[in-house]
């Protein structure tokens, strides 16, 4: 009897494995990272988190901030001169030559693809006037973005400053901000970059250290690697599939490549980008003054599971039209808001705009609507 029970238990375990029960290496809940987060880029929704607000050393993922500040400086196409202090910095390098003249944009490629610490210092000096001046800009930008648990003390992330720290959540916010910049997005997603060497006949060729982008994961669109002895392995990457843009961050992660793939695959399998409101004219407005006059300026999309989609509610709140508005046909630019709720919690809020249409415009749109109605095969009284 005992042997029979053991056999049944063993058979049950085997069946679970065969049925696709998640193993410790593939389940998102078992990532190797000490801190991790997965964020959807458009909405900012956090789809997975593990110690995401714990303050830690972050190593070279620091350079995401260095890169975006360089790009936003307005000097991206200007030529800068490499200093002695930039060439002498320790750690990973793109082997800049003291006194060489190089475009700031080339430095950003060397920074992001090869994690050049020399490039980081050269950028800091060119944009901030000095490393200290640049660090001030880094912390100012962090505050603007909402990185409330971050302190930058250098442009590269080396361990020489005790309080140079951030969190997985803050770094996801930074990457979300940076990925809205077309130049940053292009550089982050570049697999190989080639440029002339100032003193040699051969070109500099920089291959991206981000293996997810170059070889391991087809949906990866960019990112930044990092490592120091104290911070251990840190990694920020982005991935896109079926209209969903994701950001993954891991800090102190022995198996970071697989951590990111695991988080991505779980999210892509579980969530869909769901359209909750479409950019343009709002339909079903009953108020006669507002009818055919209201619109929103952007699409509202949100990552939801199929189960969550039934718990979403869209609510329209409008200012009661005043007598003066009705007399003049005019109204303020913003006359209300469109609130999106999931299980009673607000997940987005969009301003509703008023735009008075001329009689000519109204006539045109009425004709278009009538034509579409006729083409749909419906009968009309005319």
Q: Please say if 63 is a catalytic residue.
A: yes
Contact predicate 151/100, CB 8 Å = no
Q: Spell out the residues 6+ positions from residue 295 whose beta carbon is closer than 8 angstroms to its own.
A: 279, 280, 281, 282, 352, 353, 355
DSSP classification of residue 30? G
Q: 247 near 172, Cβ under 8 Å?
A: yes
Spatial CA neighbour of 187 closest among 179, 198, 176: 179
Among residues 43, 50, 63, 92, which one is catalytic? 63
State whether residue 180 is helix, strand or coil. coil
Examine the residue annotation and report whether 42 is marked as an active-site residue of this protein.
no
The SS3 assignment for 365 reads: helix
Q: For the residues of 181-233, what is the DSSP string, one character each? A: SHHHHHHHT-SEEEEE-SSSSSEEEEE-S-HIIIII-TTEEEEEEEEETTTEE
Alpha-carbon gap, residue 235 to 248, rounded angstroms: 8
- What DSSP state is assigned to residue 93? -
CA 353 to centroid of chain Cα atoms: 28
Q: Choose the catalytic residue: 35, 43, 92, 115.
A: 115
Report which secondary-structure segment, H or E, holds 63. helix 63-72
| Residue 288 annotated among the catalytic residues of the structure | no
Helices (H) and strands (E) in the chain, counts: 13, 16
Catalytic residue among 43, 56, 60, 188: 60
- Report the C-alpha gap between 211 and 308 in whole angstroms: 34
Q: Which of 143, 161, 145, 142 is nearest to 153 (CA)?
A: 161
Tell which phi-psi region holds residue 235, choosing left (phi > 0), alpha (psi between -120 and 50) or beta. beta
What is the DSSP pairing of strand 272-277 with strand 244-251? unpaired
Q: Which residues are catalytic?
A: 60, 63, 115
């Amino acid at each position: 009897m005992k042997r029979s029970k053991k056999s049944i238990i063993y058979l049950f375990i085997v069946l679970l494995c065969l049925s696709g029960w998640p193993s410790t290496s593939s389940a998102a809940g078992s990532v190797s990272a000490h801190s991790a987060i997965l964020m959807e880029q458009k909405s900012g929704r956090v789809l997975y988190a593990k110690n995401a607000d714990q303050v830690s050393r972050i190593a070279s993922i620091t350079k995401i901030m260095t890169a975006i500040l360089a790009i936003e400086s307005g000097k991206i196409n200007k030529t800068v001169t490499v200093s002695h202090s930039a060439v002498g910095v320790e750690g990973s390098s793109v082997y800049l030559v003291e006194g060489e003249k190089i475009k700031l944009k080339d430095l950003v490629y060397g920074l992001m693809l090869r994690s050049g610490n020399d490039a980081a210092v050269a950028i800091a000096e060119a944009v901030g006037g000095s490393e200290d001046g640049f660090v001030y800009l880094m912390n100012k930008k962090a505050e603007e973005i909402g990185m409330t648990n971050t302190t930058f003390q250098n442009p590269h992330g080396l361990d020489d400053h005790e309080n140079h720290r951030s969190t997985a959540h803050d770094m996801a916010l930074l990457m979300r901000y940076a990925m809205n910049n077309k130049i940053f997005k292009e550089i982050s997603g570049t697999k190989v970059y080639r440029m002339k060497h100032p003193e040699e006949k051969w070109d500099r060729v920089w291959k991206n250290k981000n293996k997810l982008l170059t070889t391991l994961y087809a949906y990866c669109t960019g990112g930044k690697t990092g490592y120091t002895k104290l911070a251990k392995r840190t990694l920020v990457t982005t991935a896109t599939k079926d209209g969903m843009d994701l950001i993954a961050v891991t800090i102190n992660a022995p198996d970071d490549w697989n951590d990111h793939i695991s988080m991505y695959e779980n999210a892509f399998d579980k969530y869909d980008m769901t359209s909750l409101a479409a950019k343009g004219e709002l339909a079903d407005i009953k108020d006669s003054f507002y009818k055919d006059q209201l619109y929103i300026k952007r699409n509202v999309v949100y990552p939801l599971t199929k189960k969550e989609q039934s718990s979403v509610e869209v609510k329209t709140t409008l200012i009661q039209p005043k007598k003066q508005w009705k007399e003049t046909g005019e109204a303020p630019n913003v006359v209300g808001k469109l609130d999106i709720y999931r299980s009673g919690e607000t997940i987005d809020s969009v301003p509703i705009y008023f735009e008075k249409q001329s009689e000519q415009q109204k006539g045109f749109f009425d004709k278009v609507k009538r034509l579409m109605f006729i083409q749909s095969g419906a009968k009309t009284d005319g």
